[in-house]
Structure 1
Amino acid sequence: MSSSQTVTGGVSVIAHHSAAAFLERAGACLLEREAEHNLLLGIAQDFAAAGGPSDPAILLATVEQHGDVVGCVFRTPPHKVGLTRMPLEAVPAVVRAIAQRYERIPAVLGPDEVARHFAQRWSALRNTPWREGASQRIYQLEVVNWPASMPAGRLRPATTADIPTVREWVSAFAGEVHLLMADPEHIAVEYVNRGIVFLWEDGWPRSMAAVPAATPHGVRIGYVYTPPEWRGRGYASACVAHLSDAVLESGSRYCFLYTELANPVSNSIYQRMGYQPVADVMDCIFPEHAGQPRVQIATNQ
């Protein structure tokens, strides 16, 4: 069987049992707003390349109405549910489909109105409270506007010798943005070995950024971190600007990143660099998981 289907009020939520099947059905729709859908496209592409997903708990689903794809739903447990934009009248069908698969979820991420509508329905169904979490903005870059001044140093790939530093910084990053991360050591080793972690070095490493995921025409930049003692000196800006330029020079059409709307400094820096706002999304949290780390895709994951 290639898919399972839940139908509510004329809306079908179709869970595809392979990423390839999901992309075949939803890919064209997602690519119409590639930057907005960069997270889901990256997840699905990674699974498709590996012939997966192999875990039946993972969800890649299309939301369909009158034979058309009107939205998508995804989840890679233990993380939150992700939603794309969709008609609000489709949300009850999504809530029902999620309830049939998962007894509990920590949060939902999606466009503001869609996420709130889902949270209200989920709260009523499961008799659990909810609260608004982080609001984030998705950005897209096509050409780097170089900062007027640049700190000393250079961008370089992290090497195996840098793994202790990368592990420490990944862990610190996760703590600052309340990101659920089971094993920073594994992330550090995997990302360094894959060649997707970069450091700004001025005598020694001062700042970090990574390229954790790609879409057909772009790359997401994330894990941007500078230790507190080196902040305010332009290291992160230099790191992101040079890495973004390298991504574009390598043939990608776009760079993407996320920022928290509550951080006006990072939003201003990235816009001066040439990043253009594309869409806003938000987390809605279900506090029955309050004992767990807050689950989000926060600034530059």
Structure 2
Amino acid sequence: MLSDDWHLTEDVDEFLAHAGEFLRSRPGLHTTPLSVTEKIRVMGPTAAYGADVAHFGRLERAGEVLATYYRFRGLNVTSLTPEQAESLAAHLAALGQSIPYVTADQDTATAFAEAWQRHTGATSTVRVRLRLLRLGTLIPPEPFPAGQGRLVGEQEHEHLMQWCREFAADVGEDVTIDADSWPGTRFAEKHYTYWETPDGTPVSMAGVNQIVGGQARVDPVYTPAHLRGRGYAAAVMVEVSRAALAAGAQEVVLYTNAANPTSNALYERLGYVPFSSFAVHDFSYA
């Protein structure tokens, strides 16, 4: 596998013209590149993510796309064999790029980190391990908490941002979330639902990405700490899962932290089934 088999562009439309069919062939597994490229296609990299430019690459041989990547902060890459990971590392090293981190399925992330070290001397540290779950048969909880789900209104945007700030702090994300920065955060391109008690008080929320390529991704799911353990997260998850299916999603997926047994157990009880493991490797350079 030659590094010359990788084709680089800054034009998202050109990238999708070549690689869109490949990404849509496994929509659940490719949920992140599908969502990210769609947001950049609609908004541009600066408005979408605060990036001056985004790079998109595809591995193509004999007219067949075998893998893709995108990069505007760190590197996000689809599944690679060790040989393909080696060729990608050679490709990016030849471009003189400095990569702060890589996100990929667990085997690919490990293979790329090892190849990147060989080509650049960078050492890697695993920041987080994730599980990708896909909805099978939705199983509502018993008992179901009193209340109802409803879409978050525009007049509640400040409250929504506050809950997103609290969620980001809970999961260790270093991100600024306010009215000015909101469009460039990963929280902005979603539809949000509150679960509210019978008196109309919001007690939990869930966001869902736009349906792209037949897949919808649930993210984030948040309940304030003092309201947890009452079934509210399960209720809002059922609400948004049903809504995504009704809107035409063929696959509904979500990422969970592999180190959080509570959330993993909850989602599996609701019918979400693990089908891939991911990892984020941070790189440090001498």
Do they superpose with TM above 0.5?
A: yes
Quick check: 1:243 aligned with 2:237?
no
Which of 54, 61, 71 aligns to 1:58? It is 54
* In structure 1, distance between residues paired with 2:243 and 2:184: 22
> Residue 192 of structure 1: CA displacement?
9.6
Q: Take 1:188 and 1:10, find their aligned partners in 2: how far apart are those partners?
A: 35
Q: Give the aligned partner of residue 16 of structure 1.
A: 9
Deviation at 1:160, TM superposition (A): 2.9
Deviation digits for residues 66-105 of structure 1 (CA, Å, limit 9, x no counterpart): 543221111232xx21111122111122123333556432
Equivalent in the alignment of 1:228: 225
Residue correspondences, number: 279
Amino acid aligned to 1:237: A
How far apart, CA to CA, are the structure 1 residues paired with 2:221 and 2:81? Answer: 34
What residue in structure 1 maps to residue 99 of structure 2? 105
2:155 is aligned, of 150, 161, 172, to 161
Conserved 8 A contact 1:261-1:267: yes
Partner of 1:87: 81
CA distance, structure 2, for counterparts of residue 195 and residue 46 of structure 1: 11
How far residue 216 of structure 1 moved from its aligned partner, in angstroms, is 1.9
Task: Check conservation: 1:11, 1:90, Cα contact below 8 A.
Answer: no
Once the two structures are superposed, residues 26-51 of structure 1 have per-residue CA deviations (whole angstroms, 9 ceiling, x without a partner) of 2222222210001101112223344x
- Which secondary structure state, in structure 2, belongs to the residue aligned with residue 27 of structure 1? helix
Gaps of 5+ in 2: none
Question: Superposition RMSD on alpha carbons, in Å?
Answer: 2.7
5 Å-filtered alignment, 1:190-201, equals 196-201=191-196
Taking a change above 3 Å as real, the CA distance of residues 17 and 164 of structure 1, as seen in their structure-2 partners, is closer
Where structure 1 has 5 or more consecutive residues not aligned to the other structure, the ranges are 1-7, 289-301
Larger displacement relative to structure 2 (38-47 or 56-65)? 56-65
Q: Which residue of 2 aligns with 1:296?
A: none
C-alpha deviations, 1:235-289, integer Å up to 9, x for none?
111111111101111222221111111112212211221112221111111246x
Measure the CA separation in 2 of the matches of 1:273 and 1:147: 7
SS of the aligned residue for 1:69 comes to strand
Contact 1:160–1:193 under 8 Å retained in 2: no
1:145 is aligned to 2:139: yes
Shift of 1:53: 4.9
CA distance in 2, matches of 1:97, 1:18: 18
Partners of 2:10 and 2:53 within 8 A in 1: no
Match of 1:72 in 2: 68
Kept in 2: contact 1:26–1:62 (CA 8 A):
yes
| TM-score (normalised: structure 1) | 0.83
Q: 2:125 aligns with which of 127, 131, 136?
A: 131
Distance 2:223 2:97 in 1: 38
| Structure 2 CA distance for partners of 1:75 and 1:150, relative to 1, 3 Å | same
Q: Distance in 1 between matches of 2:86 and 2:184?
A: 41
Identity of aligned residues (%): 26
Distance, in Å, in 2 between the alignment partners of 1:238 and 1:90 is 42
> Quick one: which of 24, 41, 53 aligns to 1:31?
24
82-91 or 120-129, which moves further after superposition? Answer: 120-129
Instruction: Indicate which of 212, 215, 218 corresponds to 1:218.
Output: 215
- Deviating beyond 6 angstroms after TM superposition, the runs of 4 or more aligned structure 1 residues are 188-195
1:205 aligns with 2:202: yes
Task: Determine the structure 1 residue equivalent to 2:260.
Answer: 263
